[in-house]
Structure 1
Amino acid sequence: MNKPWVEGNSVELLINGEGYYPRVFEAMAQAREEILLETFIIFDDKVGQQLQRVLIEAARRGVRVELAVDGYGTADLPDEFIAAMTEAGVRFHAFDPQPRVAGMRTNLFRRLHRKIVVIDGELAFIGGINYSADHLGDYGPMAKQDYAVEVRGPVVAQLHASSRQLMAPVLEPPSQVRPLTQPAGQISAVLVERDNTRHRSDIEACYLQAVRAARQRIVIANAYFFPGYRLLRELRNAARRGVEVTLILQGQPDMRWVRALSRLLYNYLLRDGVRIHEYCQRPLHGKVALVDDEWSTVGSSNLDPLSLSFNLEANLLIRDRAFNQHLYQHLTSLASDHCKAVTLERMIRGYWWRAPLIFIGFHLTRYFPRIAGWFPAHRQRLKSVQPEVQAQGDLHEGNT
């Protein structure tokens, strides 16, 4: 990580779509000069349609709107949906769009998984929430539990610079907005990224540094938990030296194989005192953590091979006692009211047949960074999309 910690910020925790969407849509509606937006998923549902409306309105009143989506996560967005935005002046960019093969998406690895919004260089949002109705409680039992933060202050300049750098190949002319640097609060913060060039392990390194320094407590709430061996070892070592280590993981998974992989690691952690809770009220999609009474992080990065070895990710690190305590109280309530505690006795039952899988899972975490190098890399590229909606609904892409 080569960015400096920046003081003088305000950071507000936003929980689920109910907390996030009203704030981010209001900010977009008040934008004067520029909206930079990165996201993994936009669906053509009530949330995606609200996003579409607010971006179209902003573009029509002269705001520069640059929207970057992932070519895998947003592959099913209808041409008509995109065309309505681009015709109004929204510039729509797809990260690594690839044609389907036998109906299957082929760009599985190295996704644009970041979720960042920067408004006029003054206000930013960062977290794990996509633009889809499954982040709202009225979606039903499969509504996701997730988090983001609203940020003001000098650290917004880091988010603005990061988004501008990602979009640089398609920003014509380049952004002329100069972020404000005046203090907006008392919180220290820094943006930390993961990419496939200069920042391959920055997010993992920040987790490792924080866990090694922990003296009182560690709480991690993460949707897809299959971290590397070093982080597993440091969590176990922290518990051994008396740190209260709590993991809140998926108990009602949106992908069952993900929970199965996570459970292969439970024995290793439980036998050294790590506490594991499975959140069962709804699918956990969050990526948040805290250490002791000051350090916290909220962002897009899971603790799994895709996020730690392939995807473009972005987390905000926060140093502030009040924010840390607020997040701690929320996660403690989540664990006590809506989770099932996982015990070593429970995991030992049936151990004889799971032992080979546990062995394989454990060694995958040790050697996956090396294995990841076998997968073909590709350029981190955005392609501007200008659909021409025809009767057949064909999508024609071209650089603009």
Structure 2
Amino acid sequence: MRRLLLCCLVALATCQNLRYELALNPRKTYEYKYEGGVNFGLGIPNLAEAGMRISCKVKISGISDQTFSLQVSELAFQEFNGFPGKNDFNASPKLSQRIAAQLIKPFMFDYTSGHISAIHASPEVSDTVVNIVRGILGFFQVTVKTTQRIYELVEVGIHGKCQSNYATEENVETHDLTITQVVDLNGCSEKAAIYRGMATAVVDEVAKQRGESIISAVRYVYTVKPTAEGGLITRAHGLEQQHFSPFNVKGGSFKMEAMKEMVLLGVSDTGRAVLYGPMESKGNLVYKFVNAEANVPIMMQNLENPVPKAIELVKHLAEVNKYEIDSARTEDTIKLYQLLRVVPYEGLEAMWKEFAGNEGVQTLVFGHDC
């Protein structure tokens, strides 16, 4: 009986020493498997969509009590351009090789109590690659409160400084903690966003009352294992959905769905120190826009001198859709949409004059009743 009581007391003391607040041991190396993907389309059958996937292994090692290194290996990109159910993702070895050449370089970040305050990388590493690292490190930006099951707070993430709503649930058998985080992108005081194609947009109270054209939902689910050193993320899953509907058209929304997942593969003692070259600050977790003219993520094309390109595409689409809708030209429609987003007001006027009196174009753009 005494032995049983002693075992219970030891188990109780061990449980009391376990901590859920996120922490990384600077003397350990953590290896994770990371996968992410993004998909763009209307979600309507027989219409083309575009997407991309990334998979890699991530190794995190301690440098000091609050500074850690991140290294990426076994990187692979896949891209999708086609029709869901008919086409598959295709490997992109050239893009994988180009991105891997920068991601193979060590990154450094400061980490305290589940919050990342700074990211450093070699000067030659592009902001595009740093954004990929931000997406990975975003999984480690979690606020854990053991005194509350449901709580909300404002914190910095890849979307900016936004409000997060948390809900936690403890597994009574394993003592693992499941944390669900929902980010309110409408409540961001410093939102990482850029608006294009607004040359003729008029912001008024009526439009605000009818609602925003973009509806977003972001949710993360974490599994945290308590240890004596602090909570350790063993699995994490993120899902972001955005629906964009110009003029609030029902059933005509453009959809973006992004998914990412991270799984812990193992923990080991840190071996020899990693050699670092010169590094510079790359900021915090907030997404950094690299080039507003870039055409990623929908369709790759050159956006320089967009007016004549848009005019030719409009003429071409008017011709091929003269008698019936040609769903095979969806790619050209998306290209035209992207070109029109970067056309200034003067360019729209020039296009209007170009198409004045052209019945075919007027039918395509405005319909048969114009």
Greater C-alpha Rg: 2
With the length of structure 2 as denominator, give the TM-score of the two structures: 0.24
With the length of structure 1 as denominator, give the TM-score of the two structures: 0.23
Bigger helix fraction: 1
Bigger strand fraction: 2
